[in-house]
Amino acid sequence: MTHIRILILIILLWFTLFSAQAQSIFDRPWAVDYYNNPYLAGESIFGRSENAVGFDWGTDSPNDDIPNDNFSVRFAKSGYLPAGVYRFIISADEGFRLYIDQQVILDAWDDNVPGQTLGRDIRLSEGIHHIQIDYREFSGEAFIYLDWGAAPPDTEAETLIQPEHIVPESAIGTVTVTANALNVRSEPRIANNVLTRVQRGQQFPLLDRSTDGNWLQIAVDSATTGWVSAAYVDGSAASPISNNSDLSGVTLRSDTRLFVRVRPYADSEIIGLLRAGEVVPIVARNDNMTWWQIRDGNQIGWVSAQFITLSPDVNPARVAVVE
């Protein structure tokens, strides 16, 4: 009877942890950064956490250190979402962009139309997703509201396709983001040229350096390259990273210097580090194969599927699924 009770407690604990994890994106707050210019340029003046995106500043500003006009705000959060169709509706004055997994979903950044509302339904796969809203105000009234959640049943929507991550053959090393959040720009200078934002602990292939050494060009994914300030990354020059390897067995290889994490989330606690080219045994994977659980020495942790190469002997259908 004692063994049965223990087993029941273990099952209940597992179910509780899984349920909490499955609802994590709704439970997690938004990370909000405020800028004293309308271009998200430079470092934010201050940041804080918010439970929702719903603000009406009128003709005032969000903070004494922010001007009443000509300011910008970035909202971001990451977490687990079950597969399904989701509806996103934004009302704002003035410009805004909504990104999901670094892809533009709603775009009114350059419209400068007072008080407009845009919406879109999008089908998302199960797994970890990143949501980001960029907002800016030039003059007059200032407000932004986001309404989002599961769309009504049987809603037809376009599927968001995740870009495939391929390590460029031209990579000369890797960089690890050391700032809490870092703008990726289209040119090696500060201007109205922000492509996306990357987070602390993420690693990316290093492609090039500016002539003064102050900017580094990175490959964010197979479709996006941009420049980041060298002051906010830890970079290591190395030989070009190969996409091929003599892998065998149920193993994977790290394509860059890669953090090992406690859970399959980009903001989970870091417990280890794989060197570029290091081969480790696979323990399990998550359901949509965006994260793989590995054994690194005497500990077990998770690595992102974006930065690894699987052995040709790996059959995902025979790998245990853990969430």
In order of their start, the domains of the chain are: 28-159 (2.60.120.260), 173-237 (2.30.30.40), 251-318 (2.30.30.40)
Residue 235 CA, distance from chain mean position: 20
Confidence of residue 17 (pLDDT cuts 50, 70, 90): very low
Which of the four pLDDT bands, split at 50, 70 and 90, describes residue 227? Answer: very high
75 membership: H or E segment, kind and range:
strand 71-81
For 158-205, write each residue's pLDDT tens digit: 998 865 555 566 677 778 777 767 888 988 888 767 888 787 667 788
pLDDT tens per residue across span 22-68: 446 888 888 898 999 998 877 788 888 899 999 999 999 898 899 99
Angstrom distance (rounded) from CA 155 to CA 120: 11
Q: How far apart are CA 236 and CA 218, in angstroms?
A: 12
Dig out the tokens for 176 from the structure.
Answer: 């690890």
Min mean pLDDT across 17-26, 189-198, 217-226, 234-243 is at: 234-243
Q: Which residues contact 164 (CB under 8 A, 6 or more apart)?
A: 221, 222
Contact 132, 76 (CB under 8 A): yes
CA–CA separation, 76 vs 95, rounded Å? 17
What's the start-to-end Cα distance of the chain, in Å?
29
Higher pLDDT pick, 291 / 5: 291
More confident residue, 323 or 166: 323
Give per-residue pLDDT as tens, 251-308.
Answer: 998 887 788 888 888 878 888 888 777 888 998 899 888 899 998 877 788 998 888 8
The most distant pair of C-alpha atoms in the chain lies apart, rounded to whole Å, by 72
Residues 81, 126 contacting (CB under 8 angstroms): yes
Between CA 77 and CA 85, with CA 83 as vertex, the angle to 5 degrees is 85
12-26, 57-71, 101-115, 212-226: lowest mean pLDDT where? 12-26
In our burial notation (b when 16+ CB lie closer than 10 A, e otherwise), range 59-87 reads eebbeeebeeebbbbbbbbbbbbeeebbb
User: Nearest-CA neighbor of 88 among 51, 130, 131?
Assistant: 131
Q: Which residues contact 4 (CB under 8 A, 6 or more apart)?
A: none
Cβ atoms 287, 223 nearer than 8 A? no
CA distance 54 to 281: 46
> How far is Cα 287 from Cα 13, in angstroms, rounded to an integer?
20
